[in-house]
Amino acid sequence: GAVVSQHPSWVICKSGTSVKIECRSLDFQATTMFWYRQFPKQSLMLMATSNEGSKATYEQGVEKDKFLINHASLTLSTLTVTSAHPEDSSFYICSAVLVGLGLTYEQYFGPGTRLTVT
């Protein structure tokens, strides 16, 4: 089946520093990827839509200057949390859309990245 990876799986950083999270579709090309954030015991919240070759589209309330998204190729999207603060500590999950036979669109998720800002 389709596989999406994320790196790193967990990261601890100091307040004020920046952290980059990578999302890769390993066995398929994805023109569209999505970034979610999930706090403990809560559901996933969509942060932004990442489109290959164009600017990301951010959901309302998500600061685009703080969460920088780059979709440089059909298999890689990156999320950079700039000037991280403790309240940015969360579980970040990406997903990629696979266009299957018969034009079915299936969304596959990465394993997530646990970010802890101290």
Partner 1 sequence: LAKTTQPISMDSYEGQEVNITCSHNNIATNDYITWYQQFPSQGPRFIIQGYKTKVTNEVASLFIPADRKSSTLSLPRVSLSDTAVYYCLVGPSNTNAGKSTFGDGTTLTVKP
The answer to whether 23 touches 47, Cβ cutoff 8 Å, is no
Beta-carbon contacts of 16 under 8 Å, excluding residues fewer than 6 positions away, are 83, 84, 85
- The Cα 99–Cα 118 span in angstroms is 40
Query: Could you say which of 7, 20, 66, 114 contacts partner 1 (CB under 8 A)?
Result: 114
Residue 116 interacting with partner 1 (CB under 8 A)? no
For partner 1, the closer of residues 11 and 109 by Cβ is 109
Of 43-102, which residues contact partner 1 (CB under 8 A)?
43-46, 49, 91, 93-95, 97, 99
For partner 1, the closer of residues 53 and 104 by Cβ is 104
Tell me which amino acid residue 60 is: Q
Longest CA span, the chain: 47
Q: Count CB-CB contacts under 10 A for residue 114.
A: 14
Min dist CB 84 to partner 1, Å, is 19
Min dist CB 75 to partner 1, Å, is 16
In the numeric block, the tokens 């579980």 are attached to 91
Instruction: Name the site residues for partner 1 (rule: CB under 8 A).
Output: 4, 6, 31-34, 36, 43-46, 49, 91, 93-95, 97, 99, 104-112, 114
